[in-house]
Amino acid sequence: MKDIVIIGAGAIGCAVARAFSRYQLDILVLERESDVGEITSAANSAIVHSGYDPEPGSLKASMNRLGNQLYGTMCQELDIEMQRIGSLTIATNEEELNILDSLERRAALNGIPIQMLSRDETLQREPNLTPEVQRALFAPTAGIVNTFELCVAMMENAMDNGVRLRLNEEVQKVIPLSTGGYEVRTNRGTCQARVIVNAAGLFSDEISNQVNSVKYEIMPRKGEYFVLDHFDPDFIHHTIFTVPSSKGKGILVSPTTHGNYILGPSSEFVSEKNDCSTDSETLEQVLAAAQKLVPSIPLNQIIRQFAGLRAYEKSGHFIIEESRPGFINLVGIQSPGLTSCPAIALEAVRLAQNTLSLVDKPDYNPCRRPVIRLNKMSLEDRAEFVRQNPKFGNIVCRCEIVSEGEVLDCIHRNCGATTVRGVKKRVRPGFGKCQGGFCQPRIIKILARELGKQPEEIRYKSPGSYILFEKTRGGVQK
């Protein structure tokens, strides 16, 4: 019997795995997708929220505040790209000014440092903001994070410390055992564990409802976004928010950790948990709302649209509980879930102590081997590094300037990439203007070579997402 089975390897599952990996435990993570951080954790605003906005006294408020505080150390230990660029929530009319005032009071109750900026101060920080801005709430502790790297790094570090991860394995049934503990049946087998952590995101209600009498309901809430190329590092410096509404935090315009810009999200409930489609009408609304914040958004720099689903529980709350002995629910972790993940993981550890006795691992290492980032090196260091590691001289992605060496490294680490999207999420080939036109054939060849597969066996993401159909036999075929 394993000590812990964690269901789901999104940001929450990965954070939980890492938090438990410091103890002498036998831990298995089951993930139905082909990579960690693949669904909600891959399609969100990638913001480390300051935490002024959640309802004071709520779990969201405390998890957000603590999560934000934990990010600094975590990102340092795991070499995750994160920058505290600060956020500006702006008001352009009387009604929004009133909301801004109430947010200021809320920030005080939540214990979040903020500063109210005048129109001039705001425009001085962000000259491209709408001239209609009247005031802004500045939250200096807000940041941006590479959400893809976050999940990968947390899981890699957990695996470095002994956690095991099984991908493409979907939990179908969790059955409480009369002798204590649980049996977990998947599409590929069965295992038993003393503690279950339900971090199944959009599907966390279904997992929980199998064993608990209190029933939850995840109502997937879709957010659609635009991504712009990295055209000008000085276009926008902070995360710019509209004032929040009942539907969520509202539309934001923000730089990303790679100098791109992100616009969005919309917020609409959808019926299907796998409906990540975009639609023109919603995207037009997102764009119009973003242009109200920043009128001069250059439309010819738009390189991609995407949609993500928030795991919104009907109550609207984070559900963090030991619902029955040894069964830890992490349900309804929508925004600010990404920010809260290190704090939620500590909560999961606290709850597990009812069942498990936690003994520190003597050789636990909280740090991940740093990632080689050629573009952050000086020219001389880069030249010397490439001299000693020639694969880092072979550039395979022209838009994002990624070398073969970096791709190889991301394949061969723990929690390494096995798909084209996996490589993209880790070291960025395919994120640029040409959207994979140059790099994709190269990435397929490298993946095939390194994984001992044929190129046509390499997938974009999930097993059905083939890129190459079959070899041609040459000449005319009938």
Partner 1 sequence: MTSAKIHEEQHDLVVIGAGSAGMAAAIAAYDAGITDIVILDKENSPGGILLQCIHNGFGLHRFKEELTGPEYAERYLVEIRRRGILCKNRAMVLDMTPDKEVYYSSESDGFCRIRSKAIICATGCSERTRGAIRIPGDRPSGVMTAGLAQQYLNIDGYFVGKRIFILGSGDIGLIMARRMTLEGARVLGVAELLPYSNGLNRNIVQCLNDYQIPLYLSHSVKSIHGKERLEKIVLARVDDKFQFIAGTEQEFLVDTLLLSVGLIPSNPLLEKIGVKIHPKTRGPLVDETMQTSIPGIFSCGNSLHVHDLVDFVSEEGEMAGRAAAQYIRQLDPQSGASGVNGLKSAVNSHYDNQGNNTVQAVSGKRIVTRPLEGIGYLLPSFIDYGLISEDNDGFVLKFRVTKPYQKVTLLVKQGDTVLKKLKKNYLLPAEMEHIKMKKSELVTAEHELTVEVSND
Active-site residue set: 49
**227 binds partner 1, rule: CB under 8 A:** yes
Q: Is 469 in the site for partner 1 (CB under 8 A)?
A: yes
Residue 271 as a binder of partner 1 (CB under 8 A): the answer is: no
Q: Select from 119, 258, 292, 382 the one that contacts partner 1 (CB under 8 A).
A: 382
Q: Provide the 10 A C-beta neighbour count for residue 39.
A: 22
Identify the residue whose tokens are 């179908």. 172
Contact with partner 1 (CB under 8 A) among 192, 212, 285, 435: 435
Considering the rule CB under 8 A, would residue 437 count as an interface residue with partner 1? yes
Which listed range, 81-89, 102-110, 279-287, 314-322, lies at the site for partner 1 (CB under 8 A)?
279-287
Contact status: 67 vs partner 1 (CB under 8 A): no
- 215 belongs to the binding site for partner 1 (CB under 8 A): no
Q: Pairing between strand 395-397 and 2-7?
A: unpaired
* Cα–Cα distance, 55 to 60 (Å, whole number): 7
Per DSSP, 300 falls in state: G
Q: Is the CB of 53 or the CB of 404 nearer to partner 1?
A: 404
Alpha helices in 79-146 (DSSP H): 94-110, 119-125
With CB under 8 A, what is the number of residues at the site for partner 1?
62
Please spell the DSSP secondary structure of 31-60, one letter per residue. -SSSSSS-SGGGSS--EE--SSSSPTTSHH
Rg, the chain, Cα only: 23
Determine, following the binding rule CB under 8 A, whether residue 362 of this chain makes contact with partner 1.
no
Q: Which one of 111, 325, 449, 466 is in contact with partner 1 (CB under 8 A)?
A: 466
Nearer to partner 1, 269 or 466 (CB): 466
305 makes contact with partner 1 (CB under 8 A): yes
Query: Is 235 in contact with 227 (CB distance < 8 Å)?
Result: no
Four-point Cα dihedral 389, 393, 398, 399, nearest 10: 50
Nearest residue (CB) to partner 1, 329 versus 440: 440
Nearer to partner 1, 87 or 403 (CB): 403
Specify the DSSP class assigned to residue 23.
B
476 binds partner 1 (CB under 8 A): yes
Secondary structure of 195-209 in the HEC alphabet?
EEEECCHHHHHHHHH
Residues that bind partner 1 (CB under 8 A): 227, 274, 276-280, 283, 302-306, 377-387, 390-391, 393-395, 398-399, 401, 403-404, 433-438, 440-441, 455-456, 459-472, 474, 476-478
